[in-house]
Amino acid sequence: MELRNQTPAINLPNEELALKGCCLRPTFIYFALPVTYSVKKLECIGVMTEDRVGELLYRCQFIRSLTLSVRNVHDMSHYAECMQCLEDFTLLIDRVYPTIINQMHEMLSLERLVIKAKLFSKTNFKLLHKVMALPTMKSLTVTVTEGLIPRYVARKVASANRACSLVLNGERIDALPLLVRSTGRKRKVASVAVVSEATN
């Protein structure tokens, strides 16, 4: 079901719900849309809300695929708890903040994440290692239209989970090589310890 520029009328048996270019008011969110178990795919693009998007998500707690377009961090606060079944998440946003990444880290069923942002600072990009480290994660795709993420930073993030692929601006990022300790160094330290004990 796709709704454009109109007051939404929800038919609960639908498994897919798309809200595009419409306005959601608290009256609609609280009373007209009950909790539904049927919606598995939800799209919110160009949706104007007078309340947090989370209030809508609370009524679609069993979605497995979400495409969400938000402008600021306030629309992303405190809603991960109602998205524990989410497997595919596409986020369109102007700027990525730490709060957003922390919410993603709490989505324990997340497998595929796509982030399309205008701005993504190097410091905040490093925080993605927490999302990469989720055992369910299979792929992370990030597109940044403004600014540059250093390659060594991206490789550190990729190293958090070698079973999950990281693609940055269309380029696959390889994880850093594993560091292997030298066995020769260990033997040398052990021999010094033996000599010192004999001297004493």
For residue 79, being part of any structural domain is answered with yes
Per the domain annotation, does 200 fall within a domain?
no
Residue ranges making up the domain that contains 185: 2-193
Q: Torsion over CA of 106, 28, 18 and 140, rounded to 10 degrees?
A: -10
Is residue 147 in some structural domain? yes
Give mean pLDDT, residues 25-44.
63
Q: pTM of this prediction?
A: 0.76
pLDDT digits (tens, 9 = 90+) for 67-116: 988 766 555 556 777 788 999 999 998 899 898 899 899 999 999 999 99
Q: Is 199 among the domain residues? A: no
Domain membership of residue 120 (yes or no) is yes
Give the pLDDT score at 47. 64
Range with the poorest average pLDDT among 2-11, 38-47, 107-116, 180-189 = 2-11
| pLDDT tens digit sequence for 118-164 | 999 999 999 999 999 999 999 999 999 998 999 999 999 999 999 99
Residue 103, classified by CB atoms within 10 Å of its CB into exposed (0-12), middle (13-18) or buried (19+), is buried
DSSP secondary structure letters along the chain: -EEESS-----TT-SEEEEES-EE-HHIIIIIS---SS--EEEEES-EESS-HHHHHTT-TT-SEEEEE-SSGGGGSS-GGG-TT--EEEEEEEE--HHHHHHHHT-TT--EEEEEEEE--HHHHHTTHHHHT-TT--EEEEEESSS---HHHHHHHHTT-TTSEEEETTEEEPPPPPP---HHHHHHHHHHHHHHHHH-
Q: Is residue 198 part of a domain?
A: no
Domain of 126, CATH number, reads 3.80.10
Whether 60 maps to a domain, the answer reads yes
Total domains in the chain come to 1
Whether residue 56 lies inside any domain: the answer is yes
Segment 3-20 mean pLDDT? 55
